[in-house]
Chain A
Amino acid sequence: MKNRTLSALLLSKTSPLQLWIALIGSGIGLLILMLGMQLWIDVRSLMQEKELLRGDYLVISKKVNLLHTLGGAPTFDQGEIAALNDLKSVDDVGAFLPSKFKASMELSASIAGFSGQLMKTDLFFEAVPNRFLDVSTQEWQWKPGMKTVPVVVPAEFIKQYNHGFASGQNMPVIPENMLKSIQFYLEVSGNGKTAQFRGSIAGFSNRIQAILVPNSFMEYANTTFADGAAPRPGRLILHADNPASPELLQFLQTKDYELNQEKMKAGQSQLLLELLLMLVVTLGLFIIGLAMLGFLQYNQLLAYRSAYEIQTLHWLGFSLQKIIRPYQLFILRNLGISLTIACLLFALLQWLIDRAFSNSGFELPHMGWPGALLSGLITTLVMLWLGNRSIKKQVGRLAN
């Protein structure tokens, strides 16, 4: 009875219209925040599935111009490599070690027997540090004295051969695992020496568009079949957290380096999407901020209108805690209402969005809703804390 009289007395000067505006405002703010959070988490998980967010490997080289036709392709020196390594968005830099010797590949008639012709072609090798390679097998090793040299071939080559060259030249289509079992001969020469090796395909790389041999073989062959001086890399491979980072882009542009454009586009669209969602979340927070301000002022005004009652109750011996409690319950109830409004609208919109997506044959991963609810709950708790703090101060001021 006493508590009821107390809260009726203190909360008698509410104005329902103002209150509902504040509640609906904070409900909508919470809703936008929750939707933004959910989409952000969903998009991230979707992109992570597609390996778009795990950082990316970029291969860069210097542009070749007319002057280079005489002096050879431009290369990178240690200073330039170190400058790239210093960039925040770059985790790791590796050099493509080029071969300085001549090499040719020969497929014996019995192996190439489909057409009965002997296949022989000149080629060149490159080597990159193993940590940059997306092929990892036990065969990928070579020590001096070993007669078989493992080779990694771009996966794209096989696709081009099977889907383009083979049909045009009336040649058989070869599956990847069959190619792995084919052995061929490698002839390496230079510096007045020639050596024969057996070659075997250790794997196919989606990442690196070059025919790769192990570093150890490259070093051995460059020493044995060339003058031994370490060749300067013409291409570099980088691992970047975010290949579309403005810092990296600007650096590459200033230095006039060339890079794989496709990956940049994917990175940029991801960045754009993330920015957009961040904007949505920020907008939600902004609206919540405004609603919170309105809500705090509403509570303060409510207490202010009851200044006489607050002071009299305190003078009659009611402690500040007892006087504040009805306000605290009032704030808790109102925030509960606004969170409920937000959750109901959130569920409704979720259903509508799902229906729209499934009509167009696309399914969202639904990873984000616990995060979204949590963000709504945390924001409500923060608002509760702020509301309690402000009403405590206001009542304390009015009571004395």
Chain B
Amino acid sequence: MNLIHFYKAIPEPMADTPTQGSIWRQNLVLFKGKHYVISATSGKGKTTLLNMVCGIRKDYRGDVFFDETNLRTLNDGAFAELRSKDISCLFQDLRLFPDLTAMENICLSPITAINEADILAMARKMGVQEHLQKPCRKLSLGQQQRIALIRSLSRPFQWLLLDEPFSHLDEFNAKLAMDLILETAERQQAGIIATALGHSGLFNDFQWLEL
């Protein structure tokens, strides 16, 4: 999965809407190892784009390729396998299990790439180590977002999809999170696609794409 290629792709619900950005209805290639941030206001399809890449949404026109493979040829099982080994997502709505502890949430993965000590180290860096044994429903949104981020970083991936990763974090914690993201992605030589509502200094090292 060295590249992701968008070819004249547009989500079905937006098919009749005129677009000007560099992704929808365009010919765009994203390379593994590089970092991209997709910036747009609400309702332009940022989440939809990430969901198309990880196989959660299939209602679009045009094509999306992983290397030479058209995503339309992949079935549900193949996408689940991709999400377990090659693509890791931080969902906008976090998708944590409220009754499980933070640690259980992080560990509940089809494949775990790192051990408990590494998870503890990440939690310490993010300032949530003392919350690991608490059920997620008892954590604040900011703490939940950091737990969800640790979950997405503690898995194997070639591509990391981050949907508004700092929406519930203050600037200090967002900076800590970004350092951890870049460090982990670097180690795995992964590509990153993040979304953001507007321009932010946090994404200075990223290539900006407008929707």
Is the Cβ of A320 less than 8 Å from the Cβ of B76? yes
Q: Which residues of B contact A400 (CB under 8 A)?
A: 56, 76
Given contacts A2-B108, A315-B83, 7 further A-B contacts (CB under 8 A): A2-B107, A312-B97, A315-B95, A316-B95, A317-B155, A320-B77, A399-B76
Is the Cβ of B97 less than 8 Å from the Cβ of A319? no
The residue in chain A whose Cβ has the minimal distance to the Cβ of B96 is A312
Is the Cβ of B80 less than 8 Å from the Cβ of A318? yes
Decide yes or no whether B132 CB sits under 8 A from chain A.
no
Is the Cβ of A12 less than 8 Å from the Cβ of B99? yes
Most buried by B among A314, A319, A320: A319
Chain A residues numbered 370-400 whose CB sits less than 8 Å from any CB in chain B: 396, 399-400
Is the Cβ of A319 less than 8 Å from the Cβ of B80? yes
Decide yes or no whether B19 CB sits under 8 A from chain A.
no
Q: Which residues of A contact B10 (CB under 8 A)?
A: none
Q: Which residues of B contact A219 (CB under 8 A)?
A: none
Which one of B84-92, B184-192, B198-206 is at the interface? B84-92
CA distance A94 to B107 in the complex (A): 84
Most buried by A among B54, B76, B91, B107: B76
Supply 18 A–B pairs (Cβ within 8 Å), ascending by A. A1-B107, A5-B100, A9-B99, A312-B95, A312-B97, A314-B80, A315-B56, A315-B89, A316-B83, A316-B110, A317-B81, A317-B83, A317-B85, A318-B80, A318-B110, A319-B81, A319-B110, A400-B56
Is the Cβ of B109 less than 8 Å from the Cβ of A317? yes
User: How many of chain B's residues have a CB under 8 angstroms from any CB in A?
Assistant: 23
CA distance A315 to B155 in the complex (A): 14
Q: Which residues of A contact B97 (CB under 8 A)?
A: 9, 309, 312
Decide yes or no whether A332 CB sits under 8 A from chain B.
no
Q: Which residues of B contact A318 (CB under 8 A)?
A: 80, 84, 110
CA distance A216 to B80 in the complex (A): 86
Decide yes or no whether B104 CB sits under 8 A from chain A.
yes
Q: Which residues of B contact A314 (CB under 8 A)?
A: 80
Is the Cβ of A6 less than 8 Å from the Cβ of B80? no
The residue in chain A whose Cβ has the minimal distance to the Cβ of B111 is A317
Is the Cβ of A317 less than 8 Å from the Cβ of B107? no
Is the Cβ of B56 less than 8 Å from the Cβ of A317? no
The residue in chain A whose Cβ has the minimal distance to the Cβ of B51 is A315
Decide yes or no whether A322 CB sits under 8 A from chain B.
yes
The residue in chain A whose Cβ has the minimal distance to the Cβ of B85 is A317
Q: Which residues of B contact A2 (CB under 8 A)?
A: 107-108
Interface size class of A (residues with CB under 8 A): 20 to 34
The residue in chain A whose Cβ has the minimal distance to the Cβ of B110 is A317
CA distance A312 to B83 in the complex (A): 12
CA distance A294 to B89 in the complex (A): 38
CA distance A183 to B22 in the complex (A): 120
Contact with A along B106-130 (1 / 0, CB 8 A): 0111110000000000000000000
Q: Which residues of B contact A322 (CB under 8 A)?
A: 110
Q: Which 8 A-B pairs have the closest CB atoms?
A: A317-B84, A317-B83, A312-B95, A319-B80, A317-B110, A318-B110, A317-B80, A5-B108
Is the Cβ of B81 less than 8 Å from the Cβ of A316? no
Is the Cβ of B108 less than 8 Å from the Cβ of A316? yes
Contact with B along A37-80 (1 / 0, CB 8 A): 00000000000000000000000000000000000000000000
CA distance A183 to B179 in the complex (A): 122
CA distance A317 to B104 in the complex (A): 16
CA distance A229 to B32 in the complex (A): 108
Contact with B along A1-41 (1 / 0, CB 8 A): 11001100100100000000000000000000000000000
Q: Which residues of A contact B82 (CB under 8 A)?
A: 317
Q: Which residues of A contact B54 (CB under 8 A)?
A: 315
CA distance A320 to B111 in the complex (A): 15
CA distance A399 to B100 in the complex (A): 20
CA distance A319 to B77 in the complex (A): 6
Q: Which residues of A contact B95 (CB under 8 A)?
A: 312, 315-316
CA distance A319 to B85 in the complex (A): 12
CA distance A176 to B100 in the complex (A): 90
Q: Which residues of B contact A316 (CB under 8 A)?
A: 83-84, 89, 95, 108-110
Contact with B along A306-329 (1 / 0, CB 8 A): 000100111111111010000000
Contact with A along B66-84 (1 / 0, CB 8 A): 0000000000110011111
Q: Tell me the minimal C-beta distance from B30 to chain A in angstroms.
A: 21
The answer to whether A6 and B108 touch (CB under 8 A), given A320-B77, A320-B80, is yes
CA distance A2 to B111 in the complex (A): 10
Q: Tell me the minimal C-beta distance from A108 to chain B in angstroms.
A: 99
Q: Tell me the minimal C-beta distance from B101 to chain A in angstroms.
A: 10
Chain B residues numbered 154-198 whose CB sits less than 8 Å from any CB in chain A: 155
CA distance A314 to B89 in the complex (A): 12
Q: Tell me the minimal C-beta distance from A7 to chain B in angstroms.
A: 12
The residue in chain B whose Cβ has the minimal distance to the Cβ of A399 is B76
Q: Which residues of A contact B91 (CB under 8 A)?
A: 315
CA distance A323 to B83 in the complex (A): 15
Q: Tell me the minimal C-beta distance from A345 to chain B in angstroms.
A: 38
Q: Which residues of A contact B89 (CB under 8 A)?
A: 315-316
CA distance A396 to B76 in the complex (A): 10
Q: Which residues of B contact A12 (CB under 8 A)?
A: 99
Q: Tell me the minimal C-beta distance from A305 to chain B in angstroms.
A: 13
The answer to whether A5 and B104 touch (CB under 8 A), given A315-B56, A319-B110, is yes
